[in-house]
Structure 1
Amino acid sequence: QVTAPYLHIGAIAIMVLLAWPVAFHAIRADKKVTQVIIVGPYLAILLILFLIPLGMYSPCIREMGTLGPKPALIGHRGAPMLAPENTEMSFLKTIEHGGDGLETDVAISYDGVPFLMHDDTLRRTTNIAEVYPNDAGKAASFFSWDALQKLNAGKWFLKNKPFVGMGSLSKADQKQAMNQSIYTLSSFLRLADSHNKLVIFDLYRPPEKHPYRNLWLRKVLDVILKESKIKRHLVLWLHNSVRSFVQSVAPGFQHTMGRKAPIEDLLKHNIVKLNLVYTDMSSEDIRKYAAANITTNFYVVNEPWLYSLAWCSGAHSVTTNAVHLLKDLSQPLFLMTPQQYSIMWILTDLTSAFLISLIFVL
């Protein structure tokens, strides 16, 4: 949607280039029927392309003064292009670059300590294979917190470089990354609270035979309410099970749903935000939910053009790996008024028609 006007220009340019072989073969054809067969489809496609803008929609083609505020930026596992994901350094980098919120993943250790880890195992983001080689494939939740503290959570980042085009880190950042360890939920929440940042997290229930399998939500709530004492309005509560219980023991959270639902159902359950994959982005839905005071967050939005689409569509926030890149965008890419687009459309059609006519004449 956001690039549609420019794709249209590209398609017209291709048709201008194709005019040379079409004209060449049409002129060399001996029969009129053959000439019609060659030129007819070409002209039909060209006419369709000339008229496509009549039915084209792009949220970034809008009148001056109608663009909404820039979507807030929530760091996906922190700033994973600048630091090892889900570590203190990663979240500090998000804060340093002006992120509005922090996203993470929460697991529970074997002795009941909520800690940050996205994967089921520790192999990808720690040196578990060096420290506990016989247990490298064991679920992260089956390690005690004491055992987890012995692992390094940063060396893998410098070795594997998980993102293309990451660039090189400064020596100071390399040294800091090398010394990262697994982060607790309590420390994460205290950090967010001290900088007044929103938090959103996926909660992972411990596997079967885990001593806290049926107590995990209580442990998480204890950390939020009693240990960290984070300001409740900063918590975007995403987990859907026992939501009514959470609302009763911890009023003040911003309750967030991970899927689309009828507005009546969302309001009934006091949902104030939707957390949706970016492929579910729809300007119409965003407006509909906003009218009911339900905001939308989309994940994972890394590219400036996709962030521009979210901005033009009216999204309230996005979860991103690239806070450091998107924060510098002063306005959406490809933003233009309908008048500007009409001028561009007419000039493109007239110029291409002139060039194609010239090619056929010559």
Structure 2
Amino acid sequence: MFPCGTSITRRVFVCSYDGVPFLMHDSTLMRTTNVAEVFPNRTHLDAAMFTWAEIQQLNAGSWFLLRDPFGTASSLSETDRSQAQNQSVPSLAQFLEVAAASGKLVLFDLRRPPYGHPYRRSYINTTLQVVQAHINSSQVLWLPSEDRALVSGLDPALQQTSGLKASIQELTDDGISWLNLHYSTMSQQQICKYQSVNISTNLYVISQPWLYTLAWCAGAQSVTTNSVHILSSINKPLFLMVSLTL
């Protein structure tokens, strides 16, 4: 969305009980699916404790139209409403295929499965295998910090990304090429300092046009937003700041 053309999609993924990484922001399925209807005795169970076949039985679209979190439901056509309310939970593979086809960078978190899960120890390797099978690794900003050195060795093309600020020396020693930080923690001076050593900055969560303008003018390379339908139409900063000499 910024002048440089960088567009990043960020999601949270968890590994199913039978080893399929899938998209799920919450730790349970209650808020964004109809799990209470399909599996009424398992509503409070961790999402990772369901098999992929069970996950595929759930509706993941109706809640969005009912709650209308962005106030956009009324603008949808009947065809679009029908499509929206019949969505299923996407797998990581499906997500990556969409990103690969459009040439987008992707940034995702991984939630470690709970105790007793068959993939609790191997979920990172399982996820990495899916990444390598469905997208060019250079399109992936690898955020999970666990076993970063091992992951980097297995796939050097991944763009290692840190969710914590650190000194330039520490970041370069860890092979970090991106920072993913809350907008309130960064200044224009810091962004420029990191950029001078080829470390790019993604700021979250930027959903207001005025915040988007601030991030743009501060030199951030990209933002994470919940309002892409609003920010995507902005092709220049909303205001200019100039200094006056009296």
- The TM tier, using the shorter chain, reads over 0.9
Q: 1:126 to 1:71 in 2, by over 3 A?
A: farther
Following TM superposition, by how much is the alpha carbon of 1:167 offset from its aligned partner in structure 2, in angstroms?
Answer: 5.0
Selected match of 1:292 from 180, 187, 197: 197
Residue 199 in 1 paired to residue 106 in 2? yes
Q: Look up the match of 1:70.
A: 3
Following TM superposition, by how much is the alpha carbon of 1:70 offset from its aligned partner in structure 2, in angstroms?
Answer: 3.2
In the aligned structure 2, how far is the partner of 1:250 from the partner of 1:267? 17
Q: Look up the match of 2:11.
A: 104
Q: Look up the match of 1:142.
A: 49
Residue 209 in 1 paired to residue 116 in 2? yes
Residue 151 in 1 paired to residue 84 in 2? no
Where does 1:213-362 land on structure 2 (aligned, <5 Å)? 213-225=120-132, 227-228=133-134, 230-339=135-244
Q: 1:71 to 1:129 in 2, by over 3 A?
A: farther
In the aligned structure 1, how far is the partner of 2:119 from the partner of 2:24? 17
Contact 1:281/1:310 (CA < 8 Å) preserved in 2? no
What do the CA deviations read for 1:170-213 (whole angstroms, capped 9, x no partner)?
A: 21210111110010001111111111111110000000011111
Query: Which ranges in structure 2 are unaligned for 5 or more consecutive residues?
Result: none
What do the CA deviations read for 1:126-181 (whole angstroms, capped 9, x no partner)?
A: 00011111111111110111111100000111111123x33512212101111100
Counterpart amino acid of 2:89?
A: I
SS in 1 for 2:107: strand
Following TM superposition, by how much is the alpha carbon of 1:323 offset from its aligned partner in structure 2, in angstroms?
Answer: 1.6
SS in 1 for 2:41: helix
In the aligned structure 2, how far is the partner of 1:323 from the partner of 1:72? 14
Q: Look up the match of 1:130.
A: 37
SS in 2 for 1:287: helix
In the aligned structure 1, how far is the partner of 2:65 from the partner of 2:121? 37
Contact 2:107/2:140 (CA < 8 Å) preserved in 1? yes
Deviates more, 1:100-109 or 1:234-243: 100-109
SS in 2 for 1:173: helix
Following TM superposition, by how much is the alpha carbon of 1:334 offset from its aligned partner in structure 2, in angstroms?
Answer: 2.1
What do the CA deviations read for 1:32-60 (whole angstroms, capped 9, x no partner)?
A: xxxxxxxxxxxxxxxxxxxxxxxxxxxxx
Report the TM-score when normalising by structure 1: 0.65
Q: Which protein shows a greater Rg?
A: 1
Following TM superposition, by how much is the alpha carbon of 1:71 offset from its aligned partner in structure 2, in angstroms?
Answer: 6.4
Cα RMSD for the two superposed structures:
1.5
Greater per-residue helix proportion: 1
In the aligned structure 1, how far is the partner of 2:170 from the partner of 2:240? 35
Q: Look up the match of 1:354.
A: none
Counterpart amino acid of 1:268?
A: D
Contact 1:286/1:315 (CA < 8 Å) preserved in 2? yes
Residue 182 in 1 paired to residue 89 in 2? yes
In the aligned structure 2, how far is the partner of 1:115 from the partner of 1:330? 33
In the aligned structure 2, how far is the partner of 1:125 from the partner of 1:147? 15
Residue 161 in 1 paired to residue 161 in 2? no
